[in-house]
Structure 1
């Protein structure tokens, strides 16, 4: 309770909290512990912060993107911003990622090939690290992304995979990848030639701390639908955040480039990036294109 809160308000708040705790204790241990109403309320409170964050975005033009194939699927404390450079170096002691405020039941997906392994096959300590990280990511993305993306849940197959689920049954796969660069050059610049993006758009901006980022709005494999993605380099990692269409409903990703740039520019999101850069949970690769 805040020290400045009147005594009557403190007593009322304690009564409300006690009633809520008793109610929650009677519920079954499933993702209903995070009712959509509570989720939407947090998002509405976050809109003002999102609008402010969006104001930092410096859009450097829009152009037209070839088809991209993306995989489909079946909460902040002390803030330390990275140094101002094209590829900022993280601090020696990264900000601890705080525990999420609620548990999200993961979406279960089985591997589709012998080359694809599930997190369930990892050693217990490594599996727990990735599951805990996914919970933190899911809660934060749920607050920062637009309501139209739906309730964000982790996918238990890979640490980078999540999905948004709406009340009317739409599912929007979400990818949040922090992968060791492995000598890659990071995100490529927007194409110079007009028409190269075939109806999509490409925007270049500078995030807090001098991080250079590229945002694409691209045509996807599903006809007449688009995906939205942001790429940037951080420390020793290539970072990508992507929201893809609901292919069954033939619905484009319900997030603009400006909204997604505001998400990745949030200090709490960059805290998660910093943690994953210091504690890699994905294998390195040459390029993040199509990650």
Structure 2
């Protein structure tokens, strides 16, 4: 077939064949090409896997960041600020100012006696001192007395008067009095004749520090309702803690003598008593209203 080709075509074919042979001769032997190709394929596969893993990590990071952003946004809208704890956190400053206790709106009474009118005209600083003490006492008594007594609020013109009100509107007058006695001589004792209590009860107890106290459960306001009270001397004062029957309702004080004694024995209550004894807010008198 080559013999029948024109001379020029035959010459061109030889040139092409020669060029192809030279190109093949410059390439490495066949056995060297296979390992090189395998290694190159492995490198490409490794790079592809790394790229895929990086992409997955980026996507996962974006999802986590998005979740955190959503959580922060939701907390900002729905988280309720927790109540203040008396124990500071590890990161809290040792002289961090604690938040004030919840404020109890005082029950207002119009002055009807000389004492109430005198209280209404006390200097502003003294009225503030008494009001702050009553706020502390109301919040503490609310913690120490049974829930059945109700929410306790101070009465504004008498530092020793408080009012407890239940959810259904039942009101129980409460007395917390630290009255100067001139030496803490107002120690009371249970009657020798139980009949003198007319169906009530009396219990003697000893509070922390060796303080002698009595707890009384006696009829008050009517023959059907009873009051509960605790009396004890402290320093130069006579102390009374008392829950009276409900106003306008036939309901006895919803607290037992033991429960009232437990409240009086609480160190926080005795600290309030100590403060009132050291900084009197009542005048010396022979009787306590409601006692």
Q: Which of 20, 23, 44 is equivalent to 2:80? A: 20
Equivalence for 1:235: 235
1:123 aligns with 2:118: no
Instruction: Rate the CA distance shift 1:178–1:110 in 2: closer, same or farther, 3 A.
Output: same
Measured in 1, the distance between the counterparts of 2:241 and 2:166 equals: 19
Distance apart, 1:249 and its partner CA: 1.2
Equivalence for 1:105: 105
**Cα deviations across residues 78-99 of structure 1 (Å, max 9, x unaligned)?**
xxxxxxxxxxxxxxxxxxxx98
Distance apart, 1:288 and its partner CA: 5.2
Q: Would you identify which runs of 4 or more consecutive aligned residues in structure 1 move more than 2 Å?
A: 15-21, 113-120, 182-185, 285-291
Equivalence for 2:280: 280
Query: Which one has a larger percent helix, Structure 1 or Structure 2?
Result: 2
Structure with larger RCO (C-alpha < 8 A, sep 6+): 1
Equivalence for 1:139: 139
Instruction: Rate the CA distance shift 1:248–1:142 in 2: closer, same or farther, 3 A.
Output: same
**Cα deviations across residues 220-259 of structure 1 (Å, max 9, x unaligned)?**
0234000000000001111000000113111000000000
Q: Is the 8 A contact 1:151 1:164 kept in 2?
A: yes
Aligned pair count reads 209
Larger radius of gyration: 2
Distance apart, 1:113 and its partner CA: 2.8
Instruction: Rate the CA distance shift 1:289–1:168 in 2: closer, same or farther, 3 A.
Output: closer
Instruction: Rate the CA distance shift 1:115–1:128 in 2: closer, same or farther, 3 A.
Output: closer
Measured in 2, the distance between the counterparts of 1:227 and 1:259 equals: 13
> TM-score scaled by structure 2?
0.65
Question: What is the SS of the residue equivalent to 1:173?
Answer: strand
Q: Which runs of 5+ in 2 are unaligned?
A: 1-70, 88-97
Distance apart, 1:117 and its partner CA: 2.4
Q: Which runs of 5+ in 1 are unaligned?
A: 1-10, 25-37, 39-74, 78-97
Measured in 1, the distance between the counterparts of 2:288 and 2:185 equals: 9
Q: Equivalences for 1:24-39 in 2 at 5 Å?
A: none
**Cα deviations across residues 186-233 of structure 1 (Å, max 9, x unaligned)?**
132111113111000010000011000011001002340000000000
1:187 aligns with 2:191: no
